[in-house]
Amino acid sequence: MREEEKINNGVMKSSDDDDDEVVMIPCLDFSFYNNNNGLENWKKMMSKKVREACERHGLFYLVCDDQIIPKGLRENMIMGMKELFDLPEETKMKHQTTKAYGSYTSESPLSQSFGVYDSHLLQVSQEFTNLMWPNGNSSFCETMNSMSAKLLELNYMILKMIQEGYDLPKHYIWETEDMLMKGAVYFRLMRYKVPSKENNKEAGENGLVAHTDKNTLTILAQNDVEGLEMQTKSGKWIQLEIPHNAYVVIVAETLKAWSNGRLHAVNHRVKMKGDKERYSLGLFTMPKEEAKIEVPPELVDGNTHPLRYKPFTHGDFIKYFVSTLDENALDAFAGL
């Protein structure tokens, strides 16, 4: 299918083979964000669409111009990842930290990943690159550093739009920025290998088990090999058809808690089919450990939206999740 045929009025269709459920995932074009003409109106309208998509589906596709993220940078990043994952296993294993998910892992035979905290800081990207390429690889370092910095800016931009989408009073927006946008930044690089032939049938082979993200907001990019699936609110799993060059924005649990459960933390997984390797990368933002996650009073309404979560610190929630690995951790830990 050609891209133009897949996109209809900025809306993507994905369907499940055994059923007629059609889910329309919006594809939002952020290209004019840096254009001053009519910016305020554009932002208002886009903020509402972002909020709506995050409430309805818990994810949306995003395309943007080179001012937000240059296409060449994204291509270089994916090419650089191939080079990185092709390094010898013992070199990749050198990336080990004590932070949760902050190391190289190849737990499943089908997938490997690197987790790097704070790669938007040049020094961190330099240290990581020097560990992987002791003779240097300045182009990878620069690419990794700018890609994570650009994705981080975009991540914060979307978080601000979500708040604007709720028309929260200005003073509250500053408080929320403090709560949600001043914490850790996590960059994850993933490779999924081609599944074996006998497992390479209809259902595909598990690349990443079903989960919700436990941070605030995630932005993903992939090479053009599909595999990411989401569970709809009615419980169906559908394979996403991500438009070429689009990013996937995913609502995570902490943002769901902040919004009093209005924003949907979508369950997703990766299933590998076909004969091509899949590369993906994700920029995850999360609050500071000590940040207190508290629902804004404006998002509580006794009749339609009674308070669902008590205040909690992000660090305590993550500790609880890591110790239980319970996919219902948010409700078990902070649900009322």
Ligand X SMILES: O=C(O)CCC(=O)C(=O)O
| Identity of the residue, 180 or 190, whose beta carbon is nearer to ligand X in the bound complex | 190
Q: Does residue number 184 form part of the binding site for ligand X (CB under 6 A)? A: no
Cα–Cα distance, 264 to 56 (Å, whole number): 7
Residue 213 touches ligand X, criterion: CB under 6 A: yes
Written as one string, the DSSP assignment of 53-65 is HHHHTSEEEEE--
Tokens in use for 289?
Answer: 């450990």
C-beta of 129: minimal distance to Fe ion in Å? 25
Could you say whether residue 276 binds ligand X (CB under 6 A)? no
Q: Is the Cβ–Cβ distance between 173 and 165 less than 8 Å?
A: no
Going by their DSSP bridges, the two strands 292-293 and 312-313 should be labelled as antiparallel
The correct pick among 80, 195, 204, 282 for binding ligand X (CB under 6 A) is 282
For ligand X, how many residues bind (rule: CB under 6 A)?
11
Specify the DSSP class assigned to residue 289: T
Shortest CB 166 distance to ligand X, Å: 25
Is residue 226 part of the contact set for Fe ion (CB under 5 A)?
Answer: no
Contact string (CB under 6 A) for ligand X, positions 240-269, x = contact: ----------------------------x-
**Which of 100, 29, 21 shows the shortest CA–CA distance to 63?**
29
Q: Residues 171-175: contacts with CB within 8 Å, 24+ apart?
A: 172/296, 172/298
Residue closer to ligand X (CB basis): 180 or 248: 248
Q: Which stretch binds ligand X (CB under 6 A): 54-62, 166-174, 220-228, 325-333?
A: 220-228
- Taking the least distance from each CB to ligand X, the nearer of 188 and 305 is 188
Q: Which residues of 54-85 are buried (b: 16+ CB within 10 A; e: fewer)?
A: bbbbbbbbbbbeeebbeeeebebbbebbeebb
- Which amino acid type is present at position 78? I
Shortest Å distance, C-beta 203 to ligand X: 17
Q: Which of residues 213 and 226 has its CB atom nearest to Fe ion in the complex?
A: 213
Region of residue 104 (left: phi > 0; alpha: psi -120 to 50; beta: else):
beta
Tokens of 244: 């070429």
**What residues between 191 and 210 interact with ligand X by CB under 6 A?**
208
Residues between 160 and 219 that touch Fe ion (CB under 5 A): 213
Instruction: Identify which of residues 208 and 249 has a Cβ nearer to ligand X in the complex.
Output: 208
Find the binding residues for ligand X in span 224-243 (CB under 6 A).
Answer: 228
Which residues form the interface with ligand X (CB under 6 A)?
188, 190, 208, 213, 220, 222, 228, 268, 270, 280, 282
Which residues form the interface with Fe ion (CB under 5 A)?
213
